Amino acid sequence: MTSHKSTREVLLTCIDDIEIIAKELLDNLIAQKQQKPVSAEHSQLVELVLQKDTELKATLKLAEEQGALQQKVVALETEVERHDIEIRNLQKQLKEAEQLLATAIFQAKQKLQAIDKANSRPVNSEELIKFAHRISASNAVCAPLNWQQGDLRRPYPTDIEMRLGFLGRLGEMNVNGHMSFPELLHRPNHSMQQGSSVPNSQAGTYSWLSQNDLQMPGLSVSHLGVGGGMDHKTPKKENEDVDVMSTDSSSSSSSDSQ
Amino acid sequence: MATTQLADEGDFDLLSTIYDIIKSVEKEQQDNNQKLKDSQEAGQKVLELQRKLDHAREVVKKLPGIELSKEEQLQQIDLLRQQLTLKRDLLNKYRSITTFDREAQTEFQIHQH
């Protein structure tokens, strides 16, 4: 197959041959005029040039046919290119689909694992709601729905609430030397009845407390003090210490109320 | 004979020019002036032949589709046709593929277990 010359090469060779033969012919002719004639060679050359011309014409015909074929080739190549583009698009789409499906399957597997995990250790929804109540009772998670600017409630225990707590009343109740648990229980009860400006959060915690079975005594004691309503602070030495502590910039925000 | 739209019949008509040259060379003239004229004419014809040859070469270079021999070109067409068939079949296969259905699902489960 490599011995096949392209038609273009054949044509160009033909033309070159004709040129050479024509030159020879003319040289011969001129020589003929000047010297004795060499007619045999001359006729040979003439025949040769005629032959080459015929070859040229035949090759030109072939070139014409090939030109027509070339149009078919171009059309086929265009079609093939079009199909290539379609195949590439399809490939892209399949790749995307595969990715989407892989993600979906992965997430579904994770969901199934979570479901299995949840089924292996079921939790009572009532308990979950109770815990949620407890956690959000202090308004640390989210402000109360009716909270406005100027509301004294804060997401952290304010100094008032701290003073009403165990540590705050540690100095107050030190008459007996120690506080008994029932006293702590009764105190907030008393104060609750007198309390005028009781913030809602304090009432909320107390109501939670009364419902609960006091499962966490440590926590409940600190919240007990919250139940007391405070009109004024009893000036005591321990309270002064508490005051000093509470004038810390971070906790004085409760007095920053507008 | 016309080859393509790019080539005229006269582009490859070299024989007639050669014949003209031979004719003008073989003209026997006694008059010196005429001889001079004849030789000039012959010279011009030779130049014309040269020009024609160059022009023919240019035309051949521009002709389309003759980069390969005829056999090679036919092979190329064959190859392209095969390619086209393959690609068309591929595309049709994927176009007609059914989307997810119960049969495929059960097959997949069987494969899994």
- pLDDT tens per residue, range B2-46: 444 566 667 788 888 888 888 888 776 667 888 888 888 888 888
Collect all residues from A whose CB is shorter than 8 A from any CB in B. Answer: 1, 4-8, 11-12, 15, 18-19, 22, 25-26, 29-30, 33, 49-50, 53, 56-57, 60-73, 76-77, 79-80, 83-84, 86-87, 90
- With contacts defined as CB-CB under 8 Å, which chain B residues touch A86? 91
A219 within domain boundaries: no
A194 within domain boundaries: no
For A156, the domain range is 125-143+152-173
Q: Are residues A35 and A104 in the same domain?
A: yes
Q: Are residues A24 and A97 in the same domain?
A: yes
Each domain of chain B, given as residue ranges in start order, spans: 1-67, 68-113
ipTM of this predicted structure:
0.77
- Note the maximum CA span of chain A: 160
Q: What is the pTM of this model?
A: 0.55
Q: Are residues A76 and A91 in the same domain?
A: yes
Cα within 13 Å of Cα(A88), Cβ side = 6
Closest residue of chain B to A89, computed from CA coordinates = B91
> Are residues B15 and A8, on separate chains, in Cβ contact within 8 Å?
no
Q: How far is the C-alpha of A166 from the C-alpha of A162, rounded, in Å?
A: 8
Q: Are residues A45 and A111 in the same domain?
A: yes
Tens of pLDDT, residue by residue over B37-96, are 888 888 888 899 899 999 999 999 999 888 899 999 999 999 999 999 999 999 999 888
User: What is the pLDDT averaged over residues A65-72?
Assistant: 93
Q: Are residues A27 and A83 in the same domain?
A: yes
Predicted pLDDT at A166: 87
Hey, is the C-beta of B100 within 8 angstroms of any chain A C-beta? no
Q: Is the pLDDT of residue A66 over 90?
A: yes
Q: Residues A107-144, buried b or exposed e (16+ Cβ, 10 A)?
A: eeeeeeeeeeeeeeeeeeeeeeeeeeeeeebbbeeeee
Average pLDDT, chain B: 82
Q: Are residues A36 and A72 in the same domain?
A: yes
Domain count, chain A: 2
Hey, is the C-beta of B22 within 8 angstroms of any chain A C-beta? yes
Task: Give the nearest partner residue to B64 out of A61, A67, A90, using CB atoms.
Answer: A67
Q: Are residues A36 and A139 in the same domain?
A: no
